[in-house]
Amino acid sequence: MRIRLHTSTRLGSLILLAAGLTLGSVSRTQDFVASSDVISGGSQLVVPLFKSRVLRLDTPAARISVGSPDIADILILRATQLYVLGQDLGTTNVLLWDSEDRLIGAVNVEVTHDLESLKEKLFELLPNEPIEVYAAQRSIVLAGEVSSIISMNAAMLIADTYLAQVATAVDAQQFEQESQSGGEDQTAGEIINLMQVGGVQQVILEIVIAEINRAELRRLNAQFNSFHLSGDWNYGGVNGGAHFPDADVGPVFGSIAPWGPAIDAFAPADMVIGNQGLFASFLDADSLFNLALDVAKTNGLSKILAEPTLTTLTGKQAYFNSGGQIAVRTSNGFGDVNTVFKDFGVSVRFTPIVLGSGLINLTIEAEVLEIVNRDPEALEFGQRKVSSTVELREGQTMALAGLIDSRLQSSIEKFPGLGSIPVLGALFRSQAYRAGETELVIMATPHLAKPIAPENIRLPTDGFVNPGDAEFYLLGRLEGRASGASPGRSAAGTSEATFGHQLD
């Protein structure tokens, strides 16, 4: 405990302050705000950090003692006036004695953050947000209901900036003395966020993935083989492959001749017609002729239309997958085989953040994964994937990704010279033509949503009627007809009810 005795020089300065004279701003401790509160023994006094107050005593005091001068600097201006300066965050007390050295009272002093200046700054920058500010020891508590995440983050940033200014204003020498004395390291505190975001915070996201794929194939593959025996000569031709295994090995020119193949046998390759084609065959005692024409023209069309709908809270991730899983075998260098399961189909993952003024921030990942080749030894997948972050207003639609892919492949194999002969040259060549076009678009539409009463929910199965025996066996119907008009069903049989969440 320390007793403050003021010298004549310091007392002279304080008298000038009490008289209302303005001194130059030499340091932060001279940011003086005059006041004239009346206190008595046992009172509680709150002083903002780095600000001062002048207090009037109901009983004259001749001597004082401050519990912690590092927290509050308290001096006697007159017998009934005290000067109090907040120097550091914390609490202390001051004891008062009269001229007869009798204890006349004790005043508890708490030095807190300058909440009024912080409140003014918050109101200036966020006038429409009812943010409440409290002090909790060295920390600052922000409470209340704000309209959006942006306003909450802005309030936190303003409070953090205020604390940063307080930290730089704290006397470094004071902390050095505390560390040397083994005291606790004092900091400016932290921000405690008790604010809540009001309004609708549930987001429904509608994703539309539309793809159309057109393919065309034209193929002409001529395969033939011909073999003829004529005396000592064997000859023929082939288009489509053949092999010539050696016949029995024996002496060719007598016993002293070298050994080798006497004659090559002829083994044509198998002729295959994939889908459509023509074939012919001729066989007599000396000749063999086979002809196969593999001719095809194929047009293909495929369409993918997926419209997943997901609902989640602001700031929370939602995931949706429509498809399945396929087992994929993997092996390491030691011959061990492991089986893992890989998802395929349509999957959507998104995280919404409700912003101010009806804006919704969306982080979206959409993927279409399909199996192209189901060979267990060489699985092949086709993938279309998009990852994007956009901002939309409620009910607006934006195309996240688009793709136009056009492919053309042409190949020809022919016998040199003969394959170039008009008309007949088709027998000596094989050719193929492949063309494909793909169009893909992915669109997203967010909505703000809130739950509805259970009695107002209509399900897609509400209008379904099981078919009777006569309808199922005789009329071939998979769905029966209701005797009266079914609620929630239109004349065309489509559902008109509202499902899940009600859109604002």
Q: The domain spanning residue 58 has which CATH number?
A: 2.60.40.1380
Does residue 431 share a domain with residue 352? yes
Residues 439 and 362 in one domain: yes
Instruction: Please check whether residue 162 lies inside any domain of the structure.
Output: yes
Token pair, residue 7, equals 């010298």
Instruction: Yes or no: say if 434 and 216 are a contact pair by the CB < 8 Å rule.
Output: yes
Query: Do 84 and 132 belong together in one domain?
Result: no
- Nearest-CA neighbor of 108 among 183, 160, 55, 177? 55
Residue 258 counted as domain residue: no
pLDDT at position 265: 59
For 25-129, where are the alpha helices, taking DSSP H only? 115-125
Collapsing DSSP to helix, strand or coil, 169 comes out as helix
State the virtual CA torsion across 15, 19, 25, 31 in degrees, nearest 10: 90
In a domain, 118, yes or no: no
**Residue 262: per-residue pLDDT:** 43
Please identify, among 89, 112, 135, the residue that sits at the C-terminal boundary of a domain. Answer: 112
Among residues 443, 417, 440, 441, the alpha carbon closest in space to that of 428 is found at 417
Question: Do 432 and 348 share a domain, yes or no?
Answer: yes
Whole-number Å distance between alpha carbons of 159 and 140:
8
Q: Supply the pTM of this predicted model.
A: 0.49
pLDDT for residue 278: 77
How far apart are alpha carbons 277 and 280 in whole angstroms?
11
In sequence order, the 6+-apart residues with CB closer than 8 A to the CB of 426 are 220, 222
Distance from chain centroid for Cα 122? 31
* Residue 149 lies in domain: 127-172+188-197
Same domain, 192 and 92: no
User: Backbone phi, then psi, for 322, in 5-degree steps?
Assistant: -125, 110
Q: pLDDT at position 39, please?
A: 62
Residues 326 and 437 in one domain: yes
The verdict on 208 and 354 lying in the same domain is: yes
For the chain, counts of helices (H) and of strands (E):
5, 27
Tell me the three state secondary structure of residue 249: strand
Q: Do 317 and 204 meet the contact criterion of CB atoms below 8 Å apart?
A: no
Rounded distance between C-alpha atoms, residue 504 and residue 496, angstroms: 18
Domains contained in the chain, number: 3
What would the 3-class secondary structure string for 296-355 be? EEEEEEEEEEECCEEEEECCCCEEEEEEEEEEEEEECCCCCEEEEEEEEEEEEEEEEEEC
279 belongs to a structural domain: no
User: Residue 456: inside a domain, yes or no?
Assistant: no
Both 395 and 319 in a single domain? Answer: yes
Residue 142 lies in a domain: yes
Q: Compute the residue count for the chain.
A: 504
- For 437-473, give one letter per residue: b (16+ CB within 10 A) or e: ebebebbbbbbbbeeeeeeeeeeeeebeeeeeeebee
At 483 the pLDDT is 67
Residue 158 and residue 103 share a domain: no
Give me the residues of the chain with pLDDT under 50, please: 1-36, 172-173, 175, 177, 179-185, 247-263, 485-504
Same domain, 134 and 107: no
At residue 485, the pLDDT reads 47
Together in a domain, 380 and 438: yes
Q: Is residue 55 located within the same domain as residue 141?
A: no
